[in-house]
Amino acid sequence: MANPVLHPAVRVRELHKSIATATHTVDILRGIDFDVPQGQFVAIMGASGSGKSTLLGLLAGLDTVSRGSIQLDGEEITGLNEDSLALLRARKLGFVFQSYQLIPTLTAEENVLLPAELAGTAGSVGERARTLLNEVGLADRRDHYPVQLSGGEQQRVALARAFMLAPPILMADEPTGNLDTANGAHVLELLLNMNRKEGTTLVLVTHDPQLAARADRRIHMRDGVIVSDES
């Protein structure tokens, strides 16, 4: 059993990721090493194509590594099969995507409820979902479908969904990338407030220096390697 005191929330060692296409092999990540202590807010930065989104996907177990090791909360995830990874995500990870990724056929509340339903969580999940929607200021839009919500509102629903099961680790991929300045700032404030309140470890991918400035630590990537790691 993993011990939150002894283990970092995230530990990455010698991580490589290559993709073989029909004609050649592309090395996207070329040896990444870092740890993220419990409760830390880390911003991973880099230009487009630097490998930061791929890194985030691998950290969340959404894809398989080519080589190396990833531990989440002390648990090695690189050898796990797809179902074990899914169970691990349900238990330990929350996710916020750049393009919200709400299920278009579900209402706002149903989207928020989804992780609990997939995890088979019983009890007052409905109440928790409504509380979270209230926190993101969408209590009165809970019956609306994604298509009836603005981008900012959709991302706030995605935030509520990410916190639904109070995960110890939250991964965010350019959470404000698709939003205008005002909405972006609003979503960011909400994310950080909820993160503080829930005591979550936050790994956030961004190319926005202003957003990264709010983080406890900033990891810069270029061409698949870490070029700087500053607190």
Site string for other proteins, 108-147 (x = CB under 8 A): --x---xx-xxxx---------------------------
Cα 11 to chain centroid, rounded: 16
Site string for other proteins, 60-99 (x = CB under 8 A): x-xx------------------xx--xxxxxx-x-x-x--
Q: Nearest approach, Cβ of 101 to other proteins (angstroms)?
A: 5
Closest among 92, 42, 82 to 62, alpha carbons compared:
82
Q: Rounded to whole angstroms, how far apart are CA atoms 91 and 119?
A: 8
* Site residues (CB under 8 A) for other proteins, limited to 165-204: 165, 173
Asked if 101 is part of the footprint of other proteins (rule: CB under 8 A), the reply reads: yes
* CA dist 22 → 5, 26, 120, 164 (Å): 46, 11, 41, 41
Which CB atom, from 51 or from 184, has the smaller least distance to other proteins?
A: 51
Task: Read off φ and ψ for residue 104, nearest 5 degrees.
Answer: -65, -25
Residue 123 burial class via C-beta count within 10 angstroms: exposed 0-12, middle 13-18, buried 19 and up: exposed
Closest among 190, 136, 125, 202 to 164, alpha carbons compared:
125
Q: Nearest approach, Cβ of 41 to other proteins (angstroms)?
A: 21
Q: Nearest approach, Cβ of 230 to other proteins (angstroms)?
A: 26
The label of the residue with tokens 């926005």 reads 208
DSSP label at residue 140: G
Contact with other proteins (CB under 8 A) among 2, 103, 166, 227: 103
Q: Nearest approach, Cβ of 207 to other proteins (angstroms)?
A: 15
Find residue 10's DSSP bridge partners: 36, 72
Which CB atom, from 54 or from 71, has the smaller least distance to other proteins?
A: 54
- Residues in contact with other proteins by CB under 8 A are 19-22, 53-54, 56-57, 60, 62-63, 82-83, 86-91, 93, 95, 97, 101-106, 110, 114-115, 117-120, 161, 165, 173
